[in-house]
Amino acid sequence: MAVTSTTASSFVMRRNRRPMNYYVWKAVSLWIPLVFFVVFTLGPFWYMLVISLKDQQLEVNDPSVFPFWPFHPNLNQYIDLFERTQFPRWALNTTLVATVSTVVSLTFGSLAGYALARLRFRGASLLGIISFVTYLVPQTLLFIPLNIVITRLPVSLFLGTVVFSTVAVGLPILMLLVPPEKRVSWGPLAGWLPGILLFGIGVSLGLWGLTAKGAAANEIDLGGATNLSNTLWALILTYPTFLVPFCTWLLTGYFQSIPRELEESALIDGASRMQAMLRIVVPLAIPGILSAFIFAFTLSWNEYIYALIFLTSTANRTIPVGVVNELIRGDVYFWGTLMAGALLGSIPVAVVYSFFVENYVSGLTAGAVKG
């Protein structure tokens, strides 16, 4: 009986043993490509780390030394980065600009994406196409006209225009979002709302046109007010020119994947359009909003052209511009310090991706198909 049991167990083991071809195929189809992908992805970061830990004279400038391992590691390059440059100030500037411009772009992009996905009005499809095409316009074509506005536009006039336009257009829109049955007690104001909105849009456009004309022709002078050049406002106000179209395009597809019945149920229960959006749609769209946030934050963090053109003083620069301008002197490259600055500058983006990677992937794929 024991012999029979042993024979049966050995037979089962031999039957479950997989052939060698299976392991070869798995190695060729899975493990080798996976190892190649990991090396290809993490290789640049490893090389930056190695160069930043090497000695500049003994190892970096000696071609005979193996380049992918620090034989005499030290932190001198990082010490030089913080002592010889204003890297902490650049990091603060980059964080402030990226955060504010991303929040502003997400706010307007969410509202525009929701309107294109849910509201039915003439020209909605054309407006969606225009927003996407605007994102495709290269920055090399836009920095010259934007630079004219930035250098010749007084700060006080610009801020006054922004505040007035926001109130004149935003307030009537918010009032129109209130359900009609709740506007009965408003009296004649309820019927004047469309006219008030059109009047606010017209006056705002006129004021913006006057502002642009004054900036281009330098005709407006408010007591020697300083312009927006060489300030972080120049980047905060110009980055949305390419971030808002991208966020709008991405979030439009995501909002379309959310069932309309959820909003319709909220509207039937007495919620306004804004309440249905904030309480029903936005919580369901968190993965898509996080995806747009990651992309917008990455684009604004790594942006180089606008930061190079609009910022002239060393203290106001961002990490991409500051590291390149201060650590490359003619044909002399301070490779160790450059790699230290590049590695430290890439850490925040890597941290953002690592924390929101699941929502990032789901946000990318949710709008791929309808239904």
Q: Which of 293, 343, 345 is nearest to 319 (CA)?
A: 345
CB 226 within 8 A of CB 283: no
* pLDDT tens-digit readout, 101-136: 999 888 888 888 888 887 776 766 777 777 777 777
Q: How many CB atoms lie within 10 A of CB 288?
A: 28
The structure tokens 């196409």 sit at: 129
Would you kindly state where each structural domain of the chain is located, as residue ranges? 81-141+228-366, 154-226
pLDDT in the model for residue 184? 67
Give dist(CA 298, CA 314) in Å, integer: 22
pLDDT under 50: residue ranges of the chain: 1-2, 8, 10-13, 218-225, 363, 367-371
β-pair partners for 329: 332
- Cα(149)–Cα(178) distance, rounded to whole angstroms? 37
Residue type, 369: V
Q: Region of 195 please: left (phi>0), alpha (psi -120 to 50) or beta.
A: alpha
Give the CA diameter of the chain: 107
CA distance 170 to 196: 11
**Distance in angstroms (rounded) separating the CA atoms of residues 61 and 295:** 37
Cα angle vertex 132, ends 126, 137, to 5°? 120
What pTM does this model have? 0.72
How far is Cα 340 from Cα 91, in angstroms, rounded to an integer?
13
Structural class in CATH, domain 81-141+228-366: mainly alpha
Contacts of 116 (CB under 8 A, 6+ apart): 124, 127, 128, 131, 248, 252, 255
Structure tokens at 119: 């509201």
Phi, psi dihedrals of residue 333, rounded to the nearest 5°: -110, 120
HSE (CB half, 13 Å, CA atoms) of 285? Answer: 32
Distance of alpha carbon 141 from alpha carbon 312, whole angstroms: 20
pLDDT given for residue 155 in this prediction: 66
Collapsing DSSP to helix, strand or coil, 67 comes out as coil
Bridge partners, residue 333, by sequence? 328
Question: If you write DSSP's letter for every residue of 67-130 in order, what string do you get?
Answer: TTS-SS--SHHHHHHHHHS-HHHHHHHHHHHHHHHHHHHHHHHHHHHHHHHH---TTHHHHHHH
CA atoms of 62 and 238, how far apart (whole Å): 43
